[in-house]
């Protein structure tokens, strides 16, 4: 399995097909995803490209980082794992000085 690359600073008009065509100049592409807003469908300005091999990925980083696409200079590097998120709905609020007995 190849390396997954983060591609940042994308134009909001960039399509998966444009990104795939660009990255195919550096090696074999396994998959391309442009991240989109779930409500509007508009691109969010970044995406991920999975290259078929690690050597293709390193080649893509070397060739395409800071390369212009759609009037913007791309940021291309190895994708980092998403940080763990804590579950729940917020930070909970102190509660150290609350009254514990019912108020009648």
Section 58-74 average pLDDT: 95
Cα separation, 70 vs 65, whole angstroms: 14
| Residue 89 located in a structural domain | no
Tokens of 79: 């994708």
Residue 53 inside a domain? The answer is yes
Residues 6 or more apart whose CB falls under 8 angstroms from that of 45 comprise 8, 9, 10, 11, 12
Structurally, how many domains does the chain consist of? 1
pLDDT on residue 32: 97
Q: What is the DSSP string of 35-49?
A: EE-TTT--EEEEEEE
Sign of CA dihedral 68, 11, 31, 79: positive
- Asked whether residue 97 is domain-assigned, the answer is no
| pLDDT tens track for 23-61 | 999 999 999 999 999 998 888 999 999 999 999 999 999
84 found inside a domain: no
Give a yes or no: residue 59 inside a domain. yes
Give the mean pLDDT of the chain: 88
**What confidence tier does 11 reach under pLDDT thresholds 50, 70, 90?**
very high
With respect to residue 95, please indicate whether it lies within any of the assigned structural domains.
no
Q: Tell me the average pLDDT across 6-26.
A: 95
């Amino acid at each position: 399995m190849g390396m997954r690359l983060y591609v940042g600073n994308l134009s909001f008009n960039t399509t998966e097909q444009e990104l795939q065509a660009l990255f195919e100049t550096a090696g074999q592409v396994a998959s391309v995803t442009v991240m989109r807003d779930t409500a509007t469908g508009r691109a969010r300005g970044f995406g991920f490209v999975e290259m078929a091999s690690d050597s293709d990925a390193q080649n893509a980083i070397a060739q395409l980082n800071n390369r212009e696409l759609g009037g913007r200079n791309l940021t291309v590097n190895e994708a980092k794992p998403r940080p763990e998120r804590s579950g729940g709905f917020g930070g909970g609020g102190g509660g150290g000085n609350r009254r514990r007995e019912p108020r009648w």
